[in-house]
Structure 1
């Protein structure tokens, strides 16, 4: 078995679990490849990882049976870009905070490795949002798992986002911006702006305005088979375009289209991993002294 590993810095309390993971992989003689930046961090943190093979963020993971993401949901979003169209299954180990996507607890890592060896897991295929633009904004990584956003820059006033659905005019959003969210991203930025929660396998996108000045507009759900297009007006002549955690300042002359990406992110789910349980535990849904 060959496993790629990517992560970020971790609290001291997580060190024993991470060391235990590498010890278990070494005992099973697993071939391990580590992202270059994370290997440097592990070396400085004195974690024995035994791997001599690294990959760079630019080249990504070329070949592996799984990629382990050690961190929070942001780290897993990074791992999605490292895998891209190769669709290597991603195991999210939650050493972060909330963890909607990274659901494996640090103290369950050995059990997780056993499950991978014994085939006791399933693959959850998640839709990605794809962005195409003129001029090109996101280079070789024009896709994201959570959302694509258009927002005003910090120094600009409200912007106007002219939006089109399959070539037909939809609306002009006078707002701080607009979010195009996948079902996976429905529990993120979109939710904080009043958007609905979607089950992961729902074949939809959510269009969520950010602080709209036209108060009668509300979040809207559309089929993910449609194509969205956007033109932006701003007094500053520019705006911010963000795809998950990657953001760029863009001139208002840019033309942007958004659609479902042609490939998916494949997340590993263990037997006790259930989205509804995650909602209740992470968002305290149903928390009531009467229950």
Structure 2
């Protein structure tokens, strides 16, 4: 399958990092289940010190700097926990697999009640690595610039709820469209099932390298979402009187955009490695998470 590679075997000299959502009900029991499985199978593992302390568990812990080589990250939670784990591992080229104890868990591989069978498959080499394209953004103002990165999406929005914002977009240096509304979502194909979907954007297979431009509550007759090539670069400027704008990065980081700033969006060449089981199907996941199953089919 395009964008995926099969990995054979496992290097047990590398450690497994468990990253739990420490406030989720039942997470303590799931951490113990996963850690007990790893211990029984001779796989070295650890938690970050703050997570182990918060959960009150007497389990191996370390910092990322002192842990040694990490071969796998297991995120216990939902999509937010996956995004948190991916952010922590940026630049380390380590695959992340998710066990869902959240609500949707679109990025996760399995639900919590399948955790043991999933670990059996993973350590038997029955998995694939899906390499996902993140999106990037550069905010430039008064000779200074800030760079942001997201797996799902970066959103330009308004800080004052009652006001429309007027945004001009330029694709590869050429004027494209002037939008009036609540903001714009710039998403990756992975992010097509997140905020962009809620705003009327298309669902795109994550194997496709592309950018999505999705207006939020646009006050205009033409406000269709756009699918752009991954090589396109989109510049955004604010028209008219200065407006207070915000930049939201994967829903995890929110910053105010300086008045008069130019904002450029683009696809990143680096990839994020998400581990999936060999029988995983994106289209099956879409149906299972968002649609009713056929009569008699088990949703689990």
TM-score by length of 1: 0.88
- 1:16 maps to which residue? 29
Cα distance change on mapping 1:190 and 1:287 into 2, 3 Å? farther
Q: Is the 8 A contact 2:121 2:277 kept in 1?
A: yes
* Secondary structure in structure 1 of the residue aligned to 2:134: strand
Q: Is the CA contact (8 Å cut-off) linking 1:94 and 1:106 kept in structure 2?
A: yes
Q: Is the 8 A contact 1:183 1:199 kept in 2?
A: yes
Q: Which residue is equivalent to 1:42? A: 55
| Residues 20 and 75 in structure 2, CA contact (< 8 A), matched pair in contact too | yes
The 8 Å contact of residues 158 and 234 in structure 1, kept in 2 or not, is answered as no
Q: Say whether 1:73 aligns with 2:83.
A: no
User: Is this contact kept in 2: 1:87–1:263, CA < 8 A?
Assistant: no
Matches of 1:286 and 1:27 in 2, distance apart? 37
| Counterparts of residues 200-279 of structure 1 (less than 5 Å) | 200-233=206-239, 237-244=243-250, 245-279=252-286
Partner of 1:190: 196
Tell me how far 1:176 sits from its aligned partner: 0.4
Q: TM-score normalised to the size of structure 2?
A: 0.85
- Aligned partners of 2:115 and 2:47: how far apart in 1? 17
- Tell me: CA distance 1:156–1:243, structure 2 relative to 1, closer, same or farther (3 Å): same
Count of aligned pairs: 279
Unpaired stretches in structure 1, ≥5 consecutive residues? none
RMSD of Structure 2 on Structure 1 (CA): 2.3
User: In structure 2, do the counterparts of structure 1 residues 233 and 202 end up closer, same or farther at CA, with 3 Å as the change threshold?
Assistant: same
Q: 1:152 to 1:122 in 2, by over 3 A?
A: same
Displacement of 1:30 after TM fit? 2.6
Q: Which structure 2 segments of 5+ residues have no match?
A: 1-11
Aligned to 1:144: 150
